Amino acid sequence: MNKLAGLISATEKESRVILKTLRRIHDKSLAPPVYQGKIGKMNIVHVISGVGKTNASHAATLLIEKFSPFFVINFGIGGAYPSANLRAGDIAIADKEIYGDEGLLLKDGFHETNNIGIPLLKKGRKKYFNEFPLDKSLVKKAMKVIPPHLPLVKGGRGDYRIETGAFVTVSAATGTDKRAKELEKRFNAICENMEGAAAAHVCAMYGIPMLEIRGISNIVEDRNRGKWDIKRAAENCQRAVLAFLREGKA
């Protein structure tokens, strides 16, 4: 029996390229929308979660409980922190996910959940506070098989960068340069998003390996949507996911 890969994205806009190869499962008991099919030789179930941590947690739980994937890929767009050396259309791959705003806010500033003393997850002797490491073998394979010369959205650069590093998941998306530099420095991170840590949390609960791939839509700075390129980020990200699924043989 072929292994099944589970995919999670937040919105249809971040999923259109992949959805061309999959069909909606018309099961009224399944919410949010779920799609199924094959990409290359890989069986796929794809859930469009909705934006934010709760939606991502629900989608990951539904995916794992109903379909038992061998691994999960969370993908979509994200913002690059100022020092990450990434630009719109580039690809970021997470080596760990970090909850950016779970913890304590005291007079001397923010403290992570380990200062509370209660882990967000405990499995055996392993305690998880803000950080959830992602699967090293999937990250290594993604860096190996996703080529830097994929066809890009019209008008894009000839090549793009692929970087791996820590991602930060927040409930309130950063819209100031000051806050971006603060989070970047605190967590030594390259990319910000609103779902990844929650999906990684649920995958860790179930012992399911997870990979996270994001296309960079903007630099995290003083908010200016005129500088963003969501279309190119979303499509380049999906091309990277397709390359992994077709060539990774995970």
DSSP states of 183-200? HHHHHTEEEEESSHHHHH
CATH of domain 73-247: 3.40.50.1580
- Cβ–Cβ < 8 Å for 216, 78: yes
Q: With 0.75 as the threshold, say if the pTM is over it.
A: yes
What does each of the 250 residues of the chain score in pLDDT, given as a tens digit? 468 999 999 999 999 999 998 999 888 778 899 999 999 889 999 999 999 999 999 999 999 999 999 999 999 999 999 999 899 999 999 999 999 999 999 999 899 999 999 999 999 999 999 999 999 999 999 999 988 766 555 445 556 789 999 999 999 999 999 999 999 999 999 999 999 999 999 999 999 999 999 999 999 999 999 999 999 999 999 999 999 998 855 4
Structure tokens at 32: 């949010």
Element (H, E) at 144: helix 136-145
What is d(CA 123, CA 129) in angstroms, rounded to the nearest whole number?
12
What is d(CA 135, CA 209) in angstroms, rounded to the nearest whole number?
5
